[in-house]
Amino acid sequence: MGKAVLITQEVNPEITRNDVENDVRINAVTDHSGDDLPTLIHELYRVNNSVVATVGTINPSDLTLLGHRGDGNPMTVADVLQYLAGHVELHARQIKDSLTLIRKKH
């Protein structure tokens, strides 16, 4: 979500994660890899609420503003938001699949 906001604040910014951001992300995944399912669901809920609140701060006229990825491909604010929606949906499916597997074992 921060990358969408960045596009609204700078002219055509680079929005690919840098090495520091990648390290932070990897550490976060590692730190939470042992979390139980209720904790993961709660975190997904918290992050989703944060994303929704941030989206509400973006002016609709900014949806067409451009940033770019490291490979030079342009992405608008709307593109970033669509990517995030798909990413959240992916995590929701992962949770559903995990619950299905857990229920089959019990």
pLDDT of residue 48: 82
Helix (H) and strand (E) counts in the chain: 4, 2
**What token pair was written down for 27?**
């550490």
Q: Domain extents for the chain? A: 2-105
Report whether 75 contacts 69 (CB < 8 A). yes
State the 10-residue block means of pLDDT for the chain, 106 residues long: 95 93 89 86 86 91 96 94 89 86 84
Report whether 17 contacts 57 (CB < 8 A). no
- CA 20/CA 24 separation, integer angstroms: 6
Helix, strand, coil content of the chain in percent (nearest 5): 70, 5, 25
